[in-house]
Amino acid sequence: MPIEVINLNHSYKEGTPFKQQVLFDINLSIDDGEFIGIIGPTRSGKTTLAQHFNALHIPRRGKVIVDGLDTADKQTDLVSIRHRVGYVFQNPDYQLFAPTVSEDIAFGPTNQNLPGNEIKERVQEAMTQVGLDKTLSTRDIFALSGGQKRRTAIAGVLACRPKVLVLDDVTAGLDPRGREEIMSVIHELHRKQRITILFISNSMDEVASLAERIIVVDRGKIIMDDATRKVFARFEELRSIGLELPEITVLMDKLRSAGFDLPAGILNVNEALSSIIAALRKMEVRK
């Protein structure tokens, strides 16, 4: 289910003295099964852009076409677009409101007016997909840990069976273990279900370890749109717009400056290790 963005412009508070343009001439196309990281400094417009994909924002200038449907067309059923493009928000507290886990997850399918047994089935399936134990289904929402809340929020969106999943900074505020769990859930969703993932994050380490393609947004414009490795090889530019690089990339860069023969664009610790080992062996370092 492809998404096509053509010459998209967007302003907040249109028609008031506070008008502020936040997106400028965005062109973009997203194919089935991609895993795309969207990065950019705070207030670069990445969230506003992503909220165009599920018609939370409707373009006034330019077009957004989801699965062949123009979101600005009056004939388009926006609710069905929102079911096809799921959106998980940064703070699960905004999203969760039903008393128990299963009731909250059932909210989306209920809005689709599905029969009761189908809803049940979907709730169970979604809980399995995010690794929530069955015993949690009657658990009070407020009794959940931060990581469980996030998984419930993701399950609530998955229960609508989206083909595209937008994840807006979903690991913020979690501890290392909680973060790791969410990351592996997302990785599995992409690997097993082939769901298209749009992963918005402030953590370059997370983006680097998961995404295949990266879109860099700065001041409302797309300034890079390329394979992950190629994007992170341009670290000077990333730094100049105020982004921090993955720690491991910085480390490798420093080692290169210290005279080690290492490739650019290393994205995770395992890659780093094998290339350092290779370099050391080549230098015939005694063990």
Partner 1 sequence: MKKIIETIGLSYCYRAGTSEEVKALQDVNMSVAKGEILAITGQNGSGKSTLARHFNGLLTPTAGDVLVNDFSTAEKKNIKEIRKMVGMVFQNPDNQLISSIVEEDVAFGPENLGLPQNEIKERVDWALCTLNLEHLRREPPHNLSAGEKQQVAIAGVLAMKPQCIVLDEPTAHLDPRGRREVLESAIRLNREEGITIVLLTHFMNEVIHCDRMVVMDNGRVEMQGTPHKIFRQREGVTKMGLDFPVSAQVAAGLRREGFSISPDIIHTEELIDNLCQLK
Partner 2 sequence: MELTKNITLGVYLPGQSSIHNLDPRTKISAATILIVLLLFARSYEAYGLIALFTAALIFCSGIPSGYVIRGLKPMLPVLVIMWVFQLFLYKTPDTAILFEWWVFEATEAGLHMGNLITLRVLFLFTVTTLLTLTTSVVSLTDGLESLLKPLKMIGLPSQELVMTLVIALRFVLILAEELEKIIKAQMARGVAFDQGNFIQKTKKLFPVFLPLFIGAFKRAEELIVAMEARSYTGGKGRTKMKTLRMSSSDLSAAFVMLAYSGILIYVIISVEPII
User: Which residues in this chain contact partner 2 in the complex, by CB under 8 A?
Assistant: 12-17, 51, 54, 56-57, 78-79, 82-83, 86-87, 89, 91, 93-98, 107-108, 111-112, 156-157, 160
The pair of three-digit structure tokens given for residue 23, joined into one six-digit string? 């997106």
CA end-to-end span of the chain, whole Å? 53
- Judged by CB under 8 A, the stretch of 25-33, 48-56, 174-182, 225-233 that binds partner 1 is 174-182
Which residues fall within 8 angstroms of residue 200, CB to CB, at 6 or more apart?
Answer: 37, 38, 39, 46, 47, 50, 166, 167, 168, 169
150: number of Cβ within 10 Å: 29
Q: Does 16 bind partner 1 (CB under 8 A)?
A: no
The pair of three-digit structure tokens given for residue 216, joined into one six-digit string? 């860099």
160 binds, among partner 2, partner 1, none (CB under 5 to 8 A by kind): partner 2
Of the CA atoms within 13 Å of residue 237, those in its CB half-sphere come to: 11
Cβ-based nearer residue to partner 2, 147 or 156? 156
Tell whether the torsion through CA atoms of 166, 168, 169 and 173 is positive or negative: negative
Whole-angstrom distance, CA of residue 84 vs CA of residue 36: 17
Smallest distance from partner 2 to CB 44, Å? 18
Cβ-based nearer residue to partner 1, 100 or 202? 202
* Total residues binding partner 1 (CB under 8 A): 37
Smallest distance from partner 1 to CB 247, Å? 4
Cβ-based nearer residue to partner 2, 166 or 224? 166
**DSSP state for residue 135 in the 8-state scheme:** G
Cβ-based nearer residue to partner 2, 118 or 247? 118
Question: Tokens 């067309």 identify what position?
Answer: 73
Cβ-based nearer residue to partner 1, 17 or 258? 258
Smallest distance from partner 1 to CB 170, Å? 13
- Judged by CB under 8 A, the stretch of 81-89, 97-105, 115-123, 278-286 that binds partner 1 is 278-286
Cβ-based nearer residue to partner 1, 128 or 240? 240
Cβ-based nearer residue to partner 1, 79 or 283? 283
Whole-angstrom distance, CA of residue 29 vs CA of residue 60: 19
Whole-angstrom distance, CA of residue 7 vs CA of residue 59: 10
Site string for partner 1, 106-145 (x = CB under 8 A): ---------------------------------------x
For every residue of 214-264, DSSP letters joined together read EEEEETTEEEEEEEHHHHHH-HHHHHHTTPPPPHHHHHHHHHHHTT----S
178 binds, among partner 2, partner 1, none (CB under 5 to 8 A by kind): partner 1
96 binds, among partner 1, partner 2, none (CB under 5 to 8 A by kind): partner 2
Which alpha helices (DSSP H) does the chain contain, by range?
Answer: 46-53, 78-84, 92-95, 101-105, 107-111, 116-129, 146-158, 176-193, 204-210, 228-233, 235-240, 247-257, 269-282
Q: Does 258 bind partner 1 (CB under 8 A)?
A: yes
Q: Which residues bind partner 1 (CB under 8 A)?
A: 41-43, 145-147, 172-178, 202-204, 242-244, 247-248, 250-251, 254-255, 258-260, 269, 272-273, 276-277, 280, 283, 285, 287
